[in-house]
Structure 1
Amino acid sequence: MALDPKARGLLDMVQRVGVPRFHELDVSQARRASEKLLFAFRPDAPPVASVTEVPIGRRDGSVLMARLYRPLQAKSGQVLPLLVFYHGGGWCVGDVPSYDVVCRELANEAGCAVLSVEYRLAPEHPFPAAFDDALLAPDWAIDHADLLEVDPDRVALGGDSAGGNLLLGVALAWRDRAGVPPLRYLAAIYPCTEIHSTRPSRETYADGYFLDRATLQWFFERYLPNGESEDWRASPMRASSLAGLPPMTLVTAGCDPLTDDCLAFAERAQAEGVTVRHHAYDGMVHGFFTLGGYFPQANVAVAQVAADLAEALSLT
């Protein structure tokens, strides 16, 4: 598939100025580089009704931080549906501030509260720390629905890339729990569905398409230092069954090494009875969804995901 001209322009610019790739940096440098990219190419931040920092207590006494957005149109005291959102970044980079704009957009356009989760990052906190935090967030939010003014029966999960990986793992774990309200919907944006794959897109887009083979390996080695790649919490495609997952939206980028893995996951999920809405963005590269200040397609994709969420989380 040919790159979109805007995507080619971005890659050419990166090459022209000699920006090093993630695997050529140490962790702190990679985090700064990720932050700079997202801040440089994201849209202007739209106003919302409120933004609140939310501390979530872990069992060991430490605190998982999250940020709660209420949409601009929300009235005081109004009970809203909730999207729990997990940012991308290969489980090693990315943070809540870098995803501030996209969470504001989703809140306003979907008409829901958004809880953006600052899960622990590798290599300081390798697998399963991020998964454990990702599972804790909706559990805590439902237990404290009155405090957050959200409806525990209308909760969705969303995230991109590594965040999409986390939401699929959490959804599988949630499906098998007793005594919890079922999740209403999933919004997975080019998720990593399995660590090791030999599908064609892994090779076709292995170099020169933003997320390259060496960077993927850099992420995997830091997130999974003990080689847990076959654990379904790290590779949701390895789960014994996908049946019973909530309906989901899947966004893919045409020139992304993860695309064929995403499509294989969707095909299997549908074969096992899961409803999947697939929105394909031809010519786009991995990571485009958060770069709406540069890619018009990103703004279309955000609006489409928000529309799917609004429909799924409605009272009817």
Structure 2
Amino acid sequence: MKTLKLLWALVRVLLPERLVRASYGGALPVVDGRRADPKAQAVADLVSLVRDPAAQPTVEESRVQLAGFVEKFDAPCTAPVERRDITLPGADGVRPARQYIPEAIDQSRPMPCLMYLHGGGWIQGSIDTHDALCAKLAARAGVCVVAFSYRLAPEAPFPAATQDVMAGYRALLDHAEDLRIDPARLAVGGDSAGANLTASLLHSLSQGGLPLPQAQLLIYPAVDARLTSASVQALHDHALLSRPRMEWYMDQYVPEGQDRLAPEISPLMSPCLAGQPQAFVLVAGHDPLWDDGLSYAAALEQAGVPVTVSRYPGQIHGFLNLTKVVPQGDMAIAEAAQWLAFALHTDA
């Protein structure tokens, strides 16, 4: 019986949206008035059958699951984008990075650039899992994207990742000429844990009086380690990202005794939001981090920062990496790229 359920769940994920919607017959979950997108719910239902919610995976198992999931359900970038594997300094030696240069960009002049930090709960994810997303952002925004590989927990717990990101960011400024990027048109962004590291970087730069980027791109950011928001409570057991899984990520990332409400871990607590660069904040309504993103956007706005908030009420966590089966993921990438092009004054 479970095999049949699993087969049907897989078939439903791959069906056209209208057929998926019809298959649910109006029985899609609603959270605080936000009805689930049928394709997103189909993915969630499939994951709930594949993952045993009562069994905690090992770190290695979790890494393999994420990589396999993205490989199966994310569509590659079809636009012509050159990829260059490079290295950048981290806090404890060089780190892998990948530069994406869209064919249409004018390389005779310094290029606008996005430094991108992948998600994955600080313990998983890589340049490869986010390759398609980075290439699509580069192609559609008309910017160079540099994906940076920070050290992962638990092998390298906090503050290793934040220190690597700071070192990588400063290296982009110091070596801008070599990379042919324009330091005056530099953005930093990421998704989930990568968005957390982006916000953490902005806090540290602001606190230290260091040069700030031109823009920040925050895709379903995790910014509050209390994990007590209304959306976290309402989606406590969501298949894609449950509260127990978030707590497990945090346990791997943060050493015992470390204050989890320090702004470097919970950027919502930062006293240094004023003066930060313009922000794009994208949130998904069936993601426990919905309120994290909205709260952080409101805090930035209250501090005088221009903020564009993009809401996808029916979507799930990670949907920008599921474009083969969730059409709104592609729409969200296009929207983020359009904002980025405008923020960095490109010709896209």
Name the TM-score class by shorter chain. over 0.9
Match of 1:6 in 2: 39
- The C-alpha deviation readout for 1:36-95, integer Å capped at 9, x for no partner, is 0111111123244421112123454x2111111111212444421010000000000100
Q: Deviations over 1:10-61 (max 9, x none)?
A: 1222234x3345962101111000000111111123244421112123454x
- The one of 224, 238, 246 aligned to 1:216: 246
Could you tell me how far 1:246 is from its partner in structure 2?
0.6
- Give the percent of matched residue pairs that are identical in Structure 1 and Structure 2: 33
- Relative to structure 1, the CA distance from residue 220 to residue 12 in structure 2 (aligned partners, 3 Å threshold; closer, same or farther) is same
| Pair 1:49–1:258, CA change in 2 (3 A) | closer
Q: Residue type of the partner of 1:118?
A: S
* Counterpart secondary structure, 1:107: helix
Question: Are 2:220 and 2:293, in contact at CA under 8 Å, matched by a contact in 1?
Answer: yes
User: Would you say the 8 A contact 1:192–1:261 is kept in 2?
Assistant: yes
SS state at 1:15 partner:
helix
> What residue number does 1:252 align with?
283
Counterpart of 2:129 in 1: which secondary structure? helix
Does residue 43 (structure 1) correspond to residue 53 (structure 2)? The answer is no
- Per-residue CA deviations over 1:89-110 (Å, capped at 9, x if unaligned) read 0000100011100000000111
Amino acid corresponding to residue 187 of structure 1 in structure 2? L
Paired residue for 2:141?
Answer: 110
- Structure 2 residue aligned with 1:149: 180
Report the 3-state secondary structure (helix = DSSP H, G, I; strand = E; otherwise coil) of the residue aligned with 1:155.
strand
How many residues are treated as equivalent by the alignment?
313
SS in 2 for 1:302: helix
Letter of the structure 2 residue corresponding to residue 81 of structure 1: P
In structure 1, the gaps of 5 or more residues are none
Letter in 2 for 1:266: A
Whole-angstrom distance in 1 between the partners of 2:172 and 2:108: 16
User: Within the alignment, does 1:205 sit opposite 2:235 as a pair?
Assistant: yes
CA contact (8 A) 1:49 1:74 kept: no
2:90 and 2:163 in contact (8 A); partners too: no
Partner of 1:186, secondary structure, is strand
Equivalent-residue separation in structure 2 for 1:224 and 1:92 (angstroms): 11
Compute the RMSD of aligned alpha carbons: 1.7
Structure 1: which amino acid aligns with 2:250? F
| 2:12 equivalent in structure 1 | none
AA in 2 matched with 1:3: A
Q: Is residue 209–residue 256 contact of structure 1 (8 Å, CA) maintained in 2?
A: no
Once the two structures are superposed, the pairs formed by residues 118-157 of structure 1 within 5 Å of their partners are 118-157=149-188
Q: 2:217 aligns with which of 187, 196, 221?
A: 187
Structure 2, gaps ≥5 residues long: 1-33
Q: Secondary structure at the match of 1:176?
A: helix
Do structure 1's residue 287 and structure 2's residue 318 form an aligned pair? yes
TM-score, normalisation: structure 1: 0.94
Question: Which stretch shifts more, 18-27 or 280-289?
Answer: 18-27
Q: Which has the larger radius of gyration?
A: 2
CA distance in 2, matches of 1:2, 1:209: 16
